[in-house]
Amino acid sequence: MDLLQLLILAVLGTLGGALSGVAGVGGGIVFVPTLVYAAGWDIKEAVAASLVIVIFSSLSGTVRNQRSEDPVDWRATAVLSLAVAPASLIGVYISTVSSTTLVQFVFAAVLLALAYPTARGRGPSAQSKETSLPLILLAGVGIGALAGLVGIGGGVVLVPLLTLGFGLRTKRAISTSLAVVLFTGIVASIGYIVGGFSDLVSLPPLILGSMVGAWFGVRLRERLPDRTVRLGFAAFMVITALRILSDAAGIL
């Protein structure tokens, strides 16, 4: 891998990290396509590597969030992590026995399904009635399995679950989501490593970039217009999904 490619990976890692800090998503939505299209990885290997990187980006963002005006809600983190993190191993197992094409279609479908609600944004939740705990845990199991399968950490769907299920304000839900993603990434990464994943050559620039990006992403979250972040993020999701679908279908 030449110097230019390392620099590109570092920049993209910083972008993914910044997204993790701004939106509480862990950055996997950036890391998976980065490794597939910039580094030429197979999507299954990219999913495994993404979850390793997510550990560092979410750790950096979580540490920084503790100094923000909307710190982590550790009660909600503990409750959700008990469901989401172990369930990620379900997705890890499905990935190991399924075809690459299936993983591509699932990943693209997740991106497209979440693009519209991401662009639309989330309404205020301060007065939301809390959802029952069994339903929250059931949703957490589904999110964890999805996270393990497609390497996104689950933050994109954790944030609305935290606002609706626990009545958290959106910015505090983002901080809390990142902490849950941290524990999910640890468990899912162990699952992939035990399953044989060992290709770590391209990860250092992405890891370093993601840690720096997440630190500043938390600060940007309070300064950037919400609508700009939402629309830009949603557009990226749609473009990435279409590219992955075209590859899976053999169009390009």
Q: Of 31, 38, 35, give the one whose Cα is nearest residue 181.
A: 31
Q: Of 4, 30, 5, 6, give the one whose Cα is nearest residue 16.
A: 30
What does each C-alpha distance from 222 to 22, 78, 153, 195, 219 come to in angstroms? 8, 25, 22, 40, 6
Provide the number of structural domains found in the chain. Answer: 1
- DSSP code, position 131: P
The parent domain of residue 211 ranges over 3-248
Tell whether the model's pLDDT for residue 177 goes beyond 50: yes
pLDDT in tens, 201-233: 778 888 898 888 888 887 777 677 767 766 776
Rounded-to-integer distance, Cα 66 and Cα 73, Å = 10
pLDDT in tens, 88-123: 999 889 888 888 788 778 878 877 877 776 677 654
pLDDT in tens, 42-84: 888 888 888 888 898 889 889 988 888 889 999 999 999 999 9
E strands in 65-159: none
